[in-house]
Structure 1
Amino acid sequence: MAFAELYRQALEGDHFKPNRSLLVSWILALAMGGETTRRRLNRSIRIYQRSGLPRLLVLLAKLPLLKSIQPLLVLLPTPHNPQPVAGFTQTQVDQPLREVTLFTGCIANLFDTHTHNATIALLSRIGCDVTVAENQTCCGAAYAHNGEMSQAKACLKQNLTAFANSSTVIYNSSGCGAFLNDYPALMASEEKNPHELPSFLDVLDYLEQSDRFHQLKFKPLQTQVVVHEPCSQRNALKTQTLVYRLLEKIPGLRITPLADNQICCGAGGTKMVTQPELANPMRDEKIAALSLSGAEILITTNHTCALHLMSGARDAGFEGQLMHPVQLLAQQLIN
Protein backbone atom coordinates (compact mmCIF):
# COMPACT_ATOMS: atom_id res chain seq x y z
CA MET A 1 0.00 0.00 0.00
CA ALA A 2 2.80 2.42 0.89
CA PHE A 3 4.56 1.89 -2.46
CA ALA A 4 1.30 2.63 -4.29
CA GLU A 5 0.78 5.80 -2.27
CA LEU A 6 4.33 7.00 -2.92
CA TYR A 7 3.91 6.23 -6.62
CA ARG A 8 0.72 8.30 -6.68
CA GLN A 9 2.45 11.20 -4.92
CA ALA A 10 5.24 11.13 -7.49
CA LEU A 11 2.70 11.42 -10.29
CA GLU A 12 0.32 13.95 -8.78
CA GLY A 13 2.48 16.00 -6.45
CA ASP A 14 4.46 19.16 -7.04
CA HIS A 15 7.62 17.17 -7.73
CA PHE A 16 6.34 15.58 -10.93
CA LYS A 17 7.04 17.26 -14.26
CA PRO A 18 6.17 15.77 -17.67
CA ASN A 19 9.69 16.20 -19.10
CA ARG A 20 11.20 13.89 -16.49
CA SER A 21 11.28 10.14 -16.69
CA LEU A 22 8.80 8.55 -14.31
CA LEU A 23 11.65 6.90 -12.40
CA VAL A 24 13.45 10.19 -11.80
CA SER A 25 10.17 11.78 -10.68
CA TRP A 26 9.70 9.00 -8.16
CA ILE A 27 13.26 9.33 -6.83
CA LEU A 28 12.99 13.08 -6.41
CA ALA A 29 9.60 12.85 -4.70
CA LEU A 30 11.13 10.41 -2.21
CA ALA A 31 14.16 12.66 -1.73
CA MET A 32 11.90 15.43 -0.44
CA GLY A 33 9.74 13.04 1.58
CA GLY A 34 9.53 13.54 5.32
CA GLU A 35 9.59 11.15 8.25
CA THR A 36 6.16 9.69 7.42
CA THR A 37 7.27 8.89 3.87
CA ARG A 38 10.44 7.27 5.22
CA ARG A 39 8.57 5.09 7.71
CA ARG A 40 6.16 3.89 5.04
CA LEU A 41 8.94 3.16 2.61
CA ASN A 42 11.04 1.32 5.21
CA ARG A 43 8.07 -0.87 6.07
CA SER A 44 7.28 -1.50 2.41
CA ILE A 45 10.86 -2.49 1.57
CA ARG A 46 11.00 -4.97 4.46
CA ILE A 47 7.69 -6.53 3.40
CA TYR A 48 8.87 -6.66 -0.22
CA GLN A 49 12.15 -8.38 0.65
CA ARG A 50 10.55 -10.95 2.95
CA SER A 51 7.68 -11.78 0.60
CA GLY A 52 9.61 -13.62 -2.09
CA LEU A 53 8.74 -10.93 -4.63
CA PRO A 54 12.39 -10.19 -5.50
CA ARG A 55 12.79 -13.73 -6.89
CA LEU A 56 9.56 -13.40 -8.86
CA LEU A 57 10.59 -10.04 -10.28
CA VAL A 58 13.86 -11.52 -11.55
CA LEU A 59 11.79 -13.95 -13.62
CA LEU A 60 9.52 -11.16 -14.87
CA ALA A 61 12.24 -8.55 -15.29
CA LYS A 62 11.74 -8.22 -19.06
CA LEU A 63 8.18 -6.94 -18.70
CA PRO A 64 8.18 -3.23 -19.72
CA LEU A 65 6.99 -1.77 -16.37
CA LEU A 66 9.27 -3.96 -14.27
CA LYS A 67 12.19 -3.38 -16.60
CA SER A 68 11.82 0.38 -16.09
CA ILE A 69 12.03 0.18 -12.27
CA GLN A 70 14.54 -2.69 -12.04
CA PRO A 71 17.55 -0.32 -11.84
CA LEU A 72 16.04 1.11 -8.64
CA LEU A 73 15.06 -2.22 -7.09
CA VAL A 74 18.55 -3.73 -7.47
CA LEU A 75 20.00 -0.90 -5.38
CA LEU A 76 18.01 -1.80 -2.27
CA PRO A 77 20.28 -2.95 0.59
CA THR A 78 19.79 -6.66 1.31
CA PRO A 79 18.53 -7.04 3.93
CA HIS A 80 17.13 -3.57 4.52
CA ASN A 81 17.74 -3.02 8.22
CA PRO A 82 17.63 0.69 9.13
CA GLN A 83 18.51 1.81 12.65
CA PRO A 84 16.81 4.60 14.62
CA VAL A 85 18.92 7.76 14.77
CA ALA A 86 18.58 9.79 17.97
CA GLY A 87 17.55 13.43 17.66
CA PHE A 88 20.09 14.40 20.31
CA THR A 89 23.11 12.58 21.74
CA GLN A 90 24.94 14.05 24.70
CA THR A 91 28.64 13.42 25.02
CA GLN A 92 29.93 11.46 28.01
CA VAL A 93 33.19 13.43 28.03
CA ASP A 94 33.71 15.45 31.22
CA GLN A 95 34.61 18.61 29.33
CA PRO A 96 32.36 18.87 26.25
CA LEU A 97 33.79 20.72 23.28
CA ARG A 98 30.75 22.00 21.42
CA GLU A 99 27.38 21.10 19.95
CA VAL A 100 27.30 20.09 16.30
CA THR A 101 24.46 19.20 13.94
CA LEU A 102 24.51 16.09 11.77
CA PHE A 103 23.34 16.40 8.18
CA THR A 104 21.40 13.22 7.38
CA GLY A 105 20.32 13.84 3.79
CA CYS A 106 17.71 11.80 1.94
CA ILE A 107 19.18 8.58 0.53
CA ALA A 108 21.47 8.04 3.52
CA ASN A 109 18.68 8.81 5.97
CA LEU A 110 16.78 5.95 4.39
CA PHE A 111 19.48 3.42 3.48
CA ASP A 112 22.57 4.20 5.57
CA THR A 113 21.50 4.99 9.12
CA HIS A 114 24.38 2.78 10.33
CA THR A 115 26.82 5.41 9.08
CA HIS A 116 24.88 8.16 10.84
CA ASN A 117 25.02 6.28 14.14
CA ALA A 118 28.73 5.55 13.71
CA THR A 119 29.28 9.26 13.06
CA ILE A 120 27.39 10.17 16.22
CA ALA A 121 29.33 7.59 18.26
CA LEU A 122 32.70 9.01 17.20
CA LEU A 123 31.70 12.66 17.58
CA SER A 124 30.30 12.05 21.06
CA ARG A 125 33.54 10.30 22.07
CA ILE A 126 35.59 13.37 21.22
CA GLY A 127 33.37 15.67 23.25
CA CYS A 128 30.57 16.77 20.91
CA ASP A 129 26.87 16.93 21.69
CA VAL A 130 25.21 15.88 18.42
CA THR A 131 21.85 17.17 17.24
CA VAL A 132 19.88 15.82 14.28
CA ALA A 133 17.80 18.80 13.24
CA GLU A 134 14.16 18.19 12.37
CA ASN A 135 12.83 19.17 8.95
CA GLN A 136 16.20 18.99 7.19
CA THR A 137 15.97 17.51 3.71
CA CYS A 138 17.94 16.51 0.61
CA CYS A 139 21.02 18.67 0.08
CA GLY A 140 19.64 19.49 -3.38
CA ALA A 141 22.19 17.57 -5.44
CA ALA A 142 19.57 15.10 -6.71
CA TYR A 143 17.67 18.02 -8.27
CA ALA A 144 20.76 19.81 -9.54
CA HIS A 145 21.93 16.63 -11.30
CA ASN A 146 18.65 16.70 -13.22
CA GLY A 147 18.85 20.41 -14.09
CA GLU A 148 16.17 21.51 -11.62
CA MET A 149 17.94 24.35 -9.83
CA SER A 150 14.79 25.95 -8.47
CA GLN A 151 14.08 22.77 -6.51
CA ALA A 152 17.73 22.56 -5.45
CA LYS A 153 17.42 26.09 -4.04
CA ALA A 154 14.21 25.08 -2.26
CA CYS A 155 16.24 22.34 -0.53
CA LEU A 156 18.86 24.92 0.42
CA LYS A 157 16.27 27.22 1.97
CA GLN A 158 14.62 24.38 3.91
CA ASN A 159 17.97 23.20 5.24
CA LEU A 160 19.09 26.67 6.26
CA THR A 161 15.83 27.06 8.17
CA ALA A 162 16.43 23.70 9.88
CA PHE A 163 20.03 24.70 10.72
CA ALA A 164 19.15 28.24 11.86
CA ASN A 165 20.49 27.55 15.38
CA SER A 166 23.53 25.58 14.24
CA SER A 167 27.00 27.01 13.67
CA THR A 168 28.61 23.70 12.62
CA VAL A 169 26.96 21.07 10.43
CA ILE A 170 28.78 17.76 9.95
CA TYR A 171 28.18 15.60 6.86
CA ASN A 172 29.41 12.07 6.16
CA SER A 173 28.67 11.69 2.45
CA SER A 174 31.12 13.29 0.06
CA GLY A 175 28.42 13.72 -2.57
CA CYS A 176 26.25 15.73 -0.20
CA GLY A 177 29.29 17.57 1.11
CA ALA A 178 30.33 18.73 -2.34
CA PHE A 179 26.89 20.25 -2.89
CA LEU A 180 26.55 21.69 0.62
CA ASN A 181 29.81 23.52 0.04
CA ASP A 182 28.26 25.04 -3.09
CA TYR A 183 25.54 26.71 -1.00
CA PRO A 184 27.37 30.10 -0.92
CA ALA A 185 27.32 30.21 -4.73
CA LEU A 186 23.64 29.26 -4.80
CA MET A 187 22.82 31.90 -2.20
CA ALA A 188 24.68 34.55 -4.18
CA SER A 189 22.08 34.26 -6.92
CA GLU A 190 19.28 35.02 -4.47
CA GLU A 191 18.32 38.64 -3.80
CA LYS A 192 17.70 38.07 -0.12
CA ASN A 193 18.08 35.15 2.27
CA PRO A 194 17.26 35.54 5.96
CA HIS A 195 19.58 32.76 7.12
CA GLU A 196 23.32 32.79 7.57
CA LEU A 197 25.33 29.83 6.42
CA PRO A 198 26.72 27.47 9.06
CA SER A 199 30.10 25.83 8.55
CA PHE A 200 29.68 22.55 6.62
CA LEU A 201 32.44 20.09 7.57
CA ASP A 202 33.29 16.54 6.51
CA VAL A 203 33.22 14.24 9.55
CA LEU A 204 36.60 12.82 8.50
CA ASP A 205 38.14 16.29 8.39
CA TYR A 206 36.58 17.18 11.74
CA LEU A 207 37.91 14.02 13.37
CA GLU A 208 41.36 14.40 11.85
CA GLN A 209 41.68 17.91 13.28
CA SER A 210 40.63 16.79 16.77
CA ASP A 211 43.36 16.11 19.33
CA ARG A 212 40.89 13.96 21.24
CA PHE A 213 40.35 11.71 18.24
CA HIS A 214 44.06 11.01 18.03
CA GLN A 215 44.00 9.99 21.69
CA LEU A 216 41.37 7.29 21.06
CA LYS A 217 42.41 3.63 20.99
CA PHE A 218 41.19 1.10 18.44
CA LYS A 219 41.11 -2.71 18.52
CA PRO A 220 43.48 -4.39 16.05
CA LEU A 221 41.97 -5.79 12.87
CA GLN A 222 44.12 -8.10 10.77
CA THR A 223 42.40 -7.75 7.42
CA GLN A 224 42.71 -6.15 3.99
CA VAL A 225 40.58 -3.16 3.07
CA VAL A 226 40.44 -1.42 -0.30
CA VAL A 227 39.40 2.22 -0.57
CA HIS A 228 37.14 3.56 -3.32
CA GLU A 229 37.67 7.30 -3.81
CA PRO A 230 34.43 8.91 -5.05
CA CYS A 231 34.64 11.61 -7.70
CA SER A 232 33.02 14.04 -5.25
CA GLN A 233 35.85 13.50 -2.77
CA ARG A 234 38.71 13.45 -5.30
CA ASN A 235 37.61 16.23 -7.63
CA ALA A 236 35.30 18.51 -5.62
CA LEU A 237 36.38 18.28 -1.98
CA LYS A 238 39.94 17.09 -2.79
CA THR A 239 40.17 15.31 0.57
CA GLN A 240 40.60 11.69 -0.52
CA THR A 241 43.74 11.22 1.63
CA LEU A 242 41.72 11.68 4.84
CA VAL A 243 40.33 8.15 4.66
CA TYR A 244 43.77 6.57 4.65
CA ARG A 245 45.09 8.74 7.49
CA LEU A 246 42.17 7.93 9.77
CA LEU A 247 42.03 4.21 9.02
CA GLU A 248 45.72 3.95 9.86
CA LYS A 249 44.63 4.39 13.49
CA ILE A 250 43.41 0.75 13.44
CA PRO A 251 46.36 -1.56 14.21
CA GLY A 252 46.95 -4.39 11.75
CA LEU A 253 44.71 -3.00 9.03
CA ARG A 254 46.15 -3.32 5.53
CA ILE A 255 44.88 -0.43 3.42
CA THR A 256 45.17 -0.07 -0.35
CA PRO A 257 43.42 2.15 -2.91
CA LEU A 258 41.04 0.55 -5.38
CA ALA A 259 42.65 0.36 -8.81
CA ASP A 260 41.86 3.26 -11.17
CA ASN A 261 40.28 5.44 -8.51
CA GLN A 262 40.57 8.37 -10.91
CA ILE A 263 37.77 6.80 -13.00
CA CYS A 264 34.12 7.23 -11.96
CA CYS A 265 32.28 4.16 -10.67
CA GLY A 266 29.25 5.15 -12.76
CA ALA A 267 26.86 6.12 -9.98
CA GLY A 268 26.85 9.78 -11.08
CA GLY A 269 24.03 10.99 -8.84
CA THR A 270 20.93 9.46 -10.44
CA LYS A 271 22.71 8.11 -13.55
CA MET A 272 22.91 4.63 -12.05
CA VAL A 273 19.12 4.34 -12.33
CA THR A 274 18.46 6.53 -15.36
CA GLN A 275 21.29 5.23 -17.53
CA PRO A 276 22.23 1.77 -16.21
CA GLU A 277 23.53 0.75 -19.64
CA LEU A 278 26.35 3.27 -19.10
CA ALA A 279 26.68 3.08 -15.32
CA ASN A 280 26.79 -0.69 -14.87
CA PRO A 281 29.84 -1.43 -17.05
CA MET A 282 31.78 1.25 -15.15
CA ARG A 283 30.67 -0.29 -11.87
CA ASP A 284 31.60 -3.79 -13.02
CA GLU A 285 35.16 -2.66 -13.70
CA LYS A 286 35.39 -1.51 -10.08
CA ILE A 287 34.03 -4.83 -8.85
CA ALA A 288 36.55 -6.72 -10.96
CA ALA A 289 39.32 -4.64 -9.34
CA LEU A 290 37.81 -5.38 -5.93
CA SER A 291 37.89 -9.12 -6.63
CA LEU A 292 41.52 -8.95 -7.75
CA SER A 293 42.49 -7.02 -4.60
CA GLY A 294 41.52 -9.88 -2.31
CA ALA A 295 40.10 -7.36 0.17
CA GLU A 296 37.42 -8.35 2.65
CA ILE A 297 36.13 -4.80 3.13
CA LEU A 298 35.39 -2.12 0.54
CA ILE A 299 35.46 1.44 1.89
CA THR A 300 33.70 4.43 0.30
CA THR A 301 32.51 7.81 1.56
CA ASN A 302 29.66 8.40 -0.90
CA HIS A 303 26.27 6.87 -0.13
CA THR A 304 25.05 6.61 -3.72
CA CYS A 305 28.36 5.12 -4.83
CA ALA A 306 27.98 2.61 -1.99
CA LEU A 307 24.53 1.50 -3.19
CA HIS A 308 25.75 1.23 -6.78
CA LEU A 309 28.93 -0.69 -5.93
CA MET A 310 27.19 -3.05 -3.51
CA SER A 311 24.61 -4.05 -6.10
CA GLY A 312 27.44 -5.11 -8.43
CA ALA A 313 29.38 -6.77 -5.61
CA ARG A 314 26.37 -8.91 -4.71
CA ASP A 315 25.98 -10.02 -8.32
CA ALA A 316 29.68 -10.92 -8.45
CA GLY A 317 29.44 -13.04 -5.30
CA PHE A 318 31.50 -10.70 -3.08
CA GLU A 319 31.10 -12.01 0.48
CA GLY A 320 32.83 -9.14 2.26
CA GLN A 321 31.46 -5.86 3.57
CA LEU A 322 31.06 -2.38 2.14
CA MET A 323 31.46 0.30 4.79
CA HIS A 324 31.89 4.00 5.32
CA PRO A 325 35.21 4.60 7.11
CA VAL A 326 33.44 5.91 10.23
CA GLN A 327 31.61 2.59 10.51
CA LEU A 328 34.89 0.70 10.65
CA LEU A 329 36.40 3.18 13.10
CA ALA A 330 33.36 3.02 15.38
CA GLN A 331 33.32 -0.78 15.18
CA GLN A 332 36.95 -1.00 16.32
CA LEU A 333 36.76 1.76 18.94
CA ILE A 334 37.82 0.61 22.42
CA ASN A 335 35.25 1.67 24.99
Structure 2
Amino acid sequence: MRIALFVTCVNDLMFPDTGKAVVTVLERLGHEVEFPLDQTCCGQMHANSGYREEALPLVANFVKTFSEYDAIVAPSASCVAMVRESYPRLAPSAELSSVAGRTYELSEFLVDELGVTDVGARFPHTVTYHPTCHGLRMLRLGDRPRRLLEAVEGLTLTPLEGAEECCGFGGTFALKNPGVSGAMLADKCTAIRTTGAEFLAAADNSCLTHIGGGLSRGDAPVTPIHYAQILAAQ
Protein backbone atom coordinates (compact mmCIF):
# COMPACT_ATOMS: atom_id res chain seq x y z
CA MET A 1 0.00 0.00 0.00
CA ARG A 2 1.37 3.41 -0.98
CA ILE A 3 0.60 5.90 1.77
CA ALA A 4 1.03 9.66 1.45
CA LEU A 5 1.12 12.21 4.23
CA PHE A 6 -1.13 15.20 3.55
CA VAL A 7 0.35 17.42 6.22
CA THR A 8 -1.89 20.48 5.54
CA CYS A 9 -0.53 24.01 5.32
CA VAL A 10 -1.23 24.96 8.96
CA ASN A 11 0.68 21.97 10.26
CA ASP A 12 3.49 22.37 7.74
CA LEU A 13 4.04 26.01 8.66
CA MET A 14 3.24 26.06 12.36
CA PHE A 15 3.07 22.52 13.77
CA PRO A 16 5.55 20.33 11.86
CA ASP A 17 5.89 17.98 14.85
CA THR A 18 2.32 16.85 14.25
CA GLY A 19 3.13 15.73 10.71
CA LYS A 20 6.27 13.98 11.96
CA ALA A 21 4.15 12.22 14.58
CA VAL A 22 1.88 10.75 11.92
CA VAL A 23 4.90 9.35 10.10
CA THR A 24 6.32 7.97 13.36
CA VAL A 25 3.10 6.13 14.19
CA LEU A 26 2.64 4.63 10.73
CA GLU A 27 6.29 3.60 10.44
CA ARG A 28 6.10 1.95 13.87
CA LEU A 29 3.22 -0.10 12.48
CA GLY A 30 5.40 -1.21 9.55
CA HIS A 31 4.26 1.18 6.82
CA GLU A 32 6.35 3.44 4.61
CA VAL A 33 5.03 6.99 4.27
CA GLU A 34 5.77 9.30 1.35
CA PHE A 35 5.60 13.09 1.40
CA PRO A 36 4.65 14.52 -2.02
CA LEU A 37 6.45 17.85 -2.32
CA ASP A 38 3.88 19.35 -4.69
CA GLN A 39 1.14 19.44 -2.07
CA THR A 40 -0.20 22.86 -1.09
CA CYS A 41 -3.19 24.33 0.75
CA CYS A 42 -6.40 22.35 0.25
CA GLY A 43 -8.32 25.56 -0.49
CA GLN A 44 -10.63 25.42 2.50
CA MET A 45 -9.99 29.02 3.51
CA HIS A 46 -10.77 30.23 0.00
CA ALA A 47 -13.94 28.18 -0.44
CA ASN A 48 -15.32 28.96 3.02
CA SER A 49 -14.74 32.68 2.44
CA GLY A 50 -16.71 32.66 -0.81
CA TYR A 51 -13.74 32.47 -3.22
CA ARG A 52 -14.72 29.18 -4.81
CA GLU A 53 -13.23 29.89 -8.22
CA GLU A 54 -9.92 30.71 -6.58
CA ALA A 55 -10.05 27.38 -4.75
CA LEU A 56 -10.38 25.30 -7.92
CA PRO A 57 -6.65 25.35 -8.90
CA LEU A 58 -5.85 24.08 -5.41
CA VAL A 59 -8.42 21.31 -5.79
CA ALA A 60 -6.90 20.33 -9.13
CA ASN A 61 -3.40 20.31 -7.65
CA PHE A 62 -4.50 18.07 -4.79
CA VAL A 63 -5.96 15.52 -7.20
CA LYS A 64 -2.85 15.61 -9.40
CA THR A 65 -0.46 15.33 -6.45
CA PHE A 66 -2.17 12.47 -4.64
CA SER A 67 -3.84 10.49 -7.43
CA GLU A 68 -1.23 7.72 -7.46
CA TYR A 69 -1.53 6.84 -3.76
CA ASP A 70 -3.66 4.12 -2.19
CA ALA A 71 -4.23 6.19 0.95
CA ILE A 72 -3.78 9.85 1.80
CA VAL A 73 -3.56 10.41 5.57
CA ALA A 74 -3.82 13.78 7.32
CA PRO A 75 -3.69 14.97 10.95
CA SER A 76 -6.55 17.40 10.34
CA ALA A 77 -10.25 16.57 10.46
CA SER A 78 -10.96 20.02 9.05
CA CYS A 79 -8.89 19.62 5.88
CA VAL A 80 -9.98 16.02 5.30
CA ALA A 81 -13.59 17.18 5.56
CA MET A 82 -12.81 19.81 2.92
CA VAL A 83 -11.45 17.15 0.56
CA ARG A 84 -14.14 14.54 1.15
CA GLU A 85 -17.21 16.73 1.57
CA SER A 86 -16.54 19.94 -0.36
CA TYR A 87 -14.33 18.88 -3.27
CA PRO A 88 -17.02 16.78 -4.99
CA ARG A 89 -19.36 19.77 -4.94
CA LEU A 90 -16.75 22.23 -6.17
CA ALA A 91 -15.43 20.21 -9.10
CA PRO A 92 -17.27 16.89 -9.54
CA SER A 93 -15.39 14.23 -11.47
CA ALA A 94 -14.75 10.51 -11.19
CA GLU A 95 -11.04 11.03 -10.55
CA LEU A 96 -11.67 13.61 -7.84
CA SER A 97 -14.22 11.40 -6.12
CA SER A 98 -11.77 8.51 -6.18
CA VAL A 99 -8.95 10.54 -4.61
CA ALA A 100 -11.30 12.10 -2.05
CA GLY A 101 -12.52 8.64 -1.08
CA ARG A 102 -8.95 7.56 -0.33
CA THR A 103 -8.28 10.53 1.94
CA TYR A 104 -8.45 9.77 5.66
CA GLU A 105 -8.11 11.55 8.96
CA LEU A 106 -5.48 9.67 10.98
CA SER A 107 -7.88 7.96 13.42
CA GLU A 108 -10.06 6.71 10.55
CA PHE A 109 -7.07 5.20 8.82
CA LEU A 110 -5.71 3.54 11.96
CA VAL A 111 -9.00 2.15 13.26
CA ASP A 112 -10.97 1.43 10.08
CA GLU A 113 -8.32 0.66 7.46
CA LEU A 114 -5.52 -0.86 9.55
CA GLY A 115 -7.73 -2.26 12.32
CA VAL A 116 -5.46 -0.86 15.04
CA THR A 117 -6.21 0.94 18.30
CA ASP A 118 -3.04 0.17 20.26
CA VAL A 119 -0.15 1.82 18.40
CA GLY A 120 2.44 1.07 21.07
CA ALA A 121 2.44 4.52 22.63
CA ARG A 122 3.24 5.50 26.21
CA PHE A 123 2.16 8.85 27.68
CA PRO A 124 1.92 8.85 31.51
CA HIS A 125 -0.26 11.93 31.87
CA THR A 126 -3.84 13.00 32.44
CA VAL A 127 -5.53 14.01 29.18
CA THR A 128 -8.93 15.34 28.18
CA TYR A 129 -10.22 15.24 24.60
CA HIS A 130 -12.09 17.90 22.60
CA PRO A 131 -13.84 16.52 19.48
CA THR A 132 -13.52 19.32 16.91
CA CYS A 133 -16.55 20.28 14.85
CA HIS A 134 -15.38 19.03 11.45
CA GLY A 135 -14.37 15.69 12.89
CA LEU A 136 -17.54 15.36 14.92
CA ARG A 137 -20.15 16.61 12.47
CA MET A 138 -18.69 16.18 8.97
CA LEU A 139 -16.39 13.16 9.23
CA ARG A 140 -18.32 11.57 12.10
CA LEU A 141 -15.16 10.30 13.72
CA GLY A 142 -17.15 9.19 16.73
CA ASP A 143 -15.06 7.51 19.39
CA ARG A 144 -12.11 6.58 17.15
CA PRO A 145 -9.67 9.15 18.61
CA ARG A 146 -10.80 8.31 22.14
CA ARG A 147 -10.27 4.58 21.54
CA LEU A 148 -6.73 5.29 20.37
CA LEU A 149 -6.03 7.45 23.41
CA GLU A 150 -7.53 4.93 25.82
CA ALA A 151 -5.11 2.31 24.50
CA VAL A 152 -2.04 4.45 25.29
CA GLU A 153 -0.01 3.06 28.17
CA GLY A 154 -0.04 5.26 31.28
CA LEU A 155 -2.59 7.73 29.91
CA THR A 156 -5.59 8.71 32.03
CA LEU A 157 -8.42 10.07 29.86
CA THR A 158 -10.77 12.37 31.75
CA PRO A 159 -14.23 13.33 30.46
CA LEU A 160 -14.83 16.88 29.23
CA GLU A 161 -18.20 18.43 30.09
CA GLY A 162 -19.91 19.81 26.99
CA ALA A 163 -17.23 18.20 24.85
CA GLU A 164 -19.35 18.38 21.69
CA GLU A 165 -19.83 22.14 21.97
CA CYS A 166 -17.82 24.24 19.50
CA CYS A 167 -14.75 26.05 20.87
CA GLY A 168 -15.69 29.18 18.92
CA PHE A 169 -12.90 29.10 16.35
CA GLY A 170 -14.63 28.17 13.10
CA GLY A 171 -11.89 29.57 10.88
CA THR A 172 -12.88 33.07 9.79
CA PHE A 173 -15.86 32.95 12.18
CA ALA A 174 -13.55 33.89 15.03
CA LEU A 175 -12.36 36.93 13.07
CA LYS A 176 -15.78 38.08 11.92
CA ASN A 177 -17.61 37.41 15.20
CA PRO A 178 -15.03 37.92 17.95
CA GLY A 179 -17.55 38.57 20.69
CA VAL A 180 -19.50 35.37 20.15
CA SER A 181 -16.31 33.41 19.50
CA GLY A 182 -14.76 34.71 22.72
CA ALA A 183 -17.80 33.75 24.77
CA MET A 184 -17.76 30.22 23.34
CA LEU A 185 -14.04 29.97 24.01
CA ALA A 186 -14.50 31.08 27.62
CA ASP A 187 -17.06 28.31 28.22
CA LYS A 188 -14.76 25.73 26.65
CA CYS A 189 -11.76 26.83 28.71
CA THR A 190 -13.77 26.70 31.92
CA ALA A 191 -14.84 23.15 31.15
CA ILE A 192 -11.26 22.13 30.36
CA ARG A 193 -9.89 23.61 33.58
CA THR A 194 -12.54 21.72 35.55
CA THR A 195 -11.21 18.36 34.31
CA GLY A 196 -7.89 18.84 36.08
CA ALA A 197 -6.13 17.38 33.04
CA GLU A 198 -2.52 18.18 32.21
CA PHE A 199 -3.12 18.04 28.45
CA LEU A 200 -5.93 18.89 26.06
CA ALA A 201 -5.95 16.71 22.94
CA ALA A 202 -7.80 17.27 19.68
CA ALA A 203 -7.68 16.35 15.98
CA ASP A 204 -7.16 19.90 14.66
CA ASN A 205 -4.29 22.22 15.55
CA SER A 206 -6.35 25.22 14.43
CA CYS A 207 -8.84 24.60 17.25
CA LEU A 208 -6.03 23.77 19.66
CA THR A 209 -4.40 27.12 18.84
CA HIS A 210 -7.64 28.97 19.58
CA ILE A 211 -8.26 27.10 22.83
CA GLY A 212 -4.59 27.28 23.78
CA GLY A 213 -4.72 31.05 23.53
CA GLY A 214 -7.65 31.17 25.90
CA LEU A 215 -6.02 28.80 28.36
CA SER A 216 -2.77 30.76 28.26
CA ARG A 217 -4.46 34.09 28.90
CA GLY A 218 -6.21 32.51 31.89
CA ASP A 219 -2.96 31.01 33.20
CA ALA A 220 -4.49 27.53 33.05
CA PRO A 221 -1.96 24.74 33.63
CA VAL A 222 -3.17 22.75 30.60
CA THR A 223 -1.06 22.10 27.50
CA PRO A 224 -2.79 21.75 24.10
CA ILE A 225 -1.47 18.81 22.05
CA HIS A 226 -2.52 17.08 18.85
CA TYR A 227 -3.49 13.51 19.66
CA ALA A 228 -1.10 12.22 16.95
CA GLN A 229 1.79 13.47 19.06
CA ILE A 230 0.50 11.46 22.01
CA LEU A 231 0.27 8.36 19.81
CA ALA A 232 3.87 8.93 18.70
CA ALA A 233 5.20 9.19 22.25
CA GLN A 234 7.08 6.30 23.87
TM (norm. structure 2) is 0.90
For residues 134 and 95 of structure 2, what CA distance do their matches in structure 1 show? 29
Does residue 1:186 correspond to 2:90, yes or no?
yes
Equivalent in 44, 47, 52 of residue 141 of structure 1: 44
Structure 1, unaligned runs of 5 or more = 1-97
Runs of 4+ in 1 over 6 A off after TM superposition: 193-196
> Counterpart in 1 of 2:9?
106
Identity of paired residues, percent?
27
Matched position secondary structure for 2:141: coil
Matched position secondary structure for 1:327: helix
- 1:149-189 residue CA offsets vs partner (Å, 9 max, x unmatched): 1122221111112223223211111111111112223222x
Give me the CA root mean square deviation: 2.0
> Counterpart in 2 of 1:161?
64
For residues 206 and 310 of structure 1, what CA distance do their matches in structure 2 show? 27
For residues 207 and 328 of structure 1, what CA distance do their matches in structure 2 show? 14
> Counterpart in 2 of 1:281?
183
For residues 230 and 207 of structure 2, what CA distance do their matches in structure 1 show? 17
Q: C-alpha displacement at 1:243, in angstroms? A: 1.1
- Amino acid of the residue matched to residue 112 of structure 1? F
Equivalent in 271, 282, 301 of residue 173 of structure 2: 271
> Counterpart in 1 of 2:140?
238
- Amino acid of the residue matched to residue 267 of structure 1? F
TM (norm. structure 1) is 0.64
The structure that has the greater radius of gyration is 1
For residues 295 and 200 of structure 1, what CA distance do their matches in structure 2 show? 32
Q: Larger deviation: 283-292 or 146-155?
A: 146-155
> Counterpart in 2 of 1:304?
206
Contact 2:88–2:97 (CA<8 Å) still a contact in 1?
Answer: no
Does residue 1:197 correspond to 2:102, yes or no?
no
Structure 2, unaligned runs of 5 or more = none
Contact 2:22–2:228 (CA<8 Å) still a contact in 1?
Answer: yes
1:166–1:322 CA distance, 2 compared to 1 (3 A): same
Matched position secondary structure for 2:153: coil
- Amino acid of the residue matched to residue 273 of structure 1? L
- Structure showing greater relative contact order (alpha-carbon pairs closer than 8 Å, 6 or more residues apart): 2
Contact 2:52–2:90 (CA<8 Å) still a contact in 1?
Answer: no
